Amino acid sequence: MKSLPKNMALTAAVVLAMATTHQTLAGPDRETPRYGGTLNVATVFSGLNALSFKHYNWPWKTNHDALYMDQLIAGDLDLGPRGANINEYVAFDWIPPEHYRGELAESWSLEENPLRLVFNIRHGVYWPDKPGVMERRELVASDITYHFTHMWTSPRRIPTYWDFIKEWKAEDKYTAVAYLNDFNANWGYRIAWGYFSGITPPEVHQLNDNKGSADWRLMNGTGPYKVVDIRPDDVQAYARNDDYWDQEVINGTAHDLPFTDGVTYHIMNDEAAQIAAIRTCRIDILESFRWQFAD
């Protein structure tokens, strides 16, 4: 089954959920979109429950995070099958640099003397209000630099993953700069759109003596959805973030994203339950199944 990923580092679950946002009905002569409804998905990781949301511990769980978090850069779905049809986006961990689009970084450049990556942060992106954690406020460059600097202090970080970076600095309110020890041709995957590139606000990082929290109720992000319910071995539910910054232009009209009211991931370990759920429309998408069930 093919899908249209917004960010090739996201898991298939996020790919399909995000297809309801940036790319849905893009291009000329498309049907006018309708808002509402919940997308129900049994992901390729449908038997894997998110037990920890403590990002300081570097958990590999992008499929659970990326609906409420943004990255610096993403893949441009206007180049996908519903657009220019240049890239089918089936490579799970590769986006050609010429196919990047700005997400939290509206633009970026590689500069020399000194060697550095300069990210121009998008204006008007807001962290939602999270009672007990933070008030609604605009995302700024220092949020980006704090996130990467703080994450690199974790004893559970992946060795060598960001070692090509000397330091991060916020040059002004909307300019985040990564000063480099050396050039890494895979920098996009490492810091901009790949695993562990979702940006967490300082207020969440600073919980529990600067080690963050594993409590999903305290999580916050600038992505298109908010975490609203986590029930182990049952569902992981996300609801529309009304503060989300992005829009989709369809037939010349800009529409606020996302279109769906929510996305629910269903945790199902049993194959028979998965097949029964897709046949009875309990779920809309079953991402992984054996060939014998294709018909």
Residue 1 lies inside a defined structural domain of this protein: no
DSSP 212: -
Domain range for 210: 12-293
Q: Let me know if residue 175 belongs to a domain.
A: yes
Whether 6 is in a domain gets the answer: no
Number of domains in the chain: 1
Helix (H, G, I), strand (E, B) or coil at 32: coil
Amino acid (one-letter) located at 28: P
Cβ-contact 118, 109 below 8 angstroms: yes
CATH of the domain at 211: 3.40.190.10
pLDDT at residue number 231: 87
Tens of pLDDT, residues 237-254: 999 999 999 999 888 899
Edge-to-edge strand ranges of the sheet holding 285-286: 225-231, 235-240, 262-266, 38-42, 285-286
Q: Which pLDDT does position 28 carry in this prediction?
A: 54
Q: Kindly provide the b/e burial profile for residues 72-99, where b requires at least 16 CB atoms within 10 angstroms of the residue's own CB.
A: bbbbbbbbbebbeeebebeeeebbeeeb
- Residue 128 lies inside a defined structural domain of this protein: yes
**Domain annotation covers residue 36:** yes
CB 273: neighbour CB atoms within 10 A? 13
Is the preceding peptide bond at 81 cis, omega within 30 degrees of 0?
Answer: no
Q: Which residue has tokens 């080690």?
A: 211
One-letter amino acid at 170 equals A
Each residue's pLDDT, cut to its tens digit, for the chain (295 residues) gives: 333 334 333 333 333 334 434 444 444 577 889 999 999 999 887 777 776 788 999 987 766 667 999 999 999 999 999 889 999 988 878 999 999 999 999 999 999 999 999 999 999 999 999 999 999 999 999 999 999 999 999 999 999 999 999 999 999 999 999 999 999 999 999 999 998 999 999 999 999 999 998 899 999 999 999 999 988 888 899 999 999 999 998 888 999 999 999 999 998 889 999 999 999 999 999 988 999 998 8
Within-domain flag for 50: yes
Span 22-40, pLDDT tens digits = 444 444 577 889 999 999 9
- Let me know if residue 207 belongs to a domain: yes
Tokens read off for 122: 């998008």
Query: For residue 45, what are its two tokens?
Result: 């990781």
109 within a domain of the structure (yes/no): yes
